[in-house]
Amino acid sequence: MISPEGEQLGIMPTRQAYEEAKKRGLDLIEVAPNADPPVCRIMDHGKFRYEQQKKAKEAKKKSKQTELKTLRLRPNTDEHDVDFKMRNARKFLEKGDMVKFNVIFRGPELRHKDRGAEQLRRFAEGCQDIATLEQPPRMEGRRMTMVLRPRSQE
């Protein structure tokens, strides 16, 4: 049995340990039930749970969820618009988010898959200093997709 201060009180019967906890106005909590004999601790269970929740909340606050940002293009997208999307992609990658590029083909554009692949290749080259290729360009129905991951997440 362990006291609220952390010192060992030794092995004692359950009833005696319970009485000791009650005398101090605290709870008797089984810490290691599989140990031989089981280890119990005298503590304020409400305060303990509050501190655990507080630690979990703090850890959650510190962790960063990676988002997947999606940029959509067409195979005939103009040069200026592609540069604008490139700046946005770099901004997302620097912030730590993954970026998914979709080149959407409609009707006869589907015959010119090489144009879409060329645009995706330019994006990959333009961001290679801050990103790595997570998923290379591939066709998914009428769209060609590619995913870039920021280098800091490797």
| Statement: the pTM of the whole predicted model exceeds 0.75 | no
Structure tokens at 90: 């770099």
pLDDT higher than 90, residue 147 = yes
Instruction: Give pLDDT tens digits for 95-107.
Output: 888 999 999 999 8
Judge whether 29 and 43 are in contact, CB under 8 Å.
yes
Which pLDDT band, with edges at 50, 70 and 90, does 153 fall under? Answer: low
* Mean pLDDT on 117-145: 90
* Mean pLDDT on 109-134: 89
Amino acid at 90: R
97-115 b/e with 16+ CB inside 10 Å = b?
Answer: bbbbbbbebeeebeeeeeb
Amino acid at 130: I
Q: Of the candidates 121, 69, 134, 129, which has an alpha carbon nearest to the alpha carbon of residue 95?
A: 69
Q: What pLDDT, on the 0 to 100 scale, is given for residue 110?
A: 87
Poorest-confidence range of 29-43, 58-72, 89-103? 58-72
Q: What pLDDT, on the 0 to 100 scale, is given for residue 138?
A: 92
Q: Which domains does the chain carry?
A: 14-61 (3.10.20.80), 68-153 (3.30.110.10)
3-state secondary structure the chain: CECCCCCECCCCCHHHHHHHHHHHCCEEEEEECCCCCCEEEEECHHHHHHHHHHHHHHHHHHCCCCCEEEEEECCCCCHHHHHHHHHHHHHHHHHCCEEEEEEECCHHHHHCHHHHHHHHHHHHHHCCCCEEEEEEEEEECCEEEEEEEEHHHC
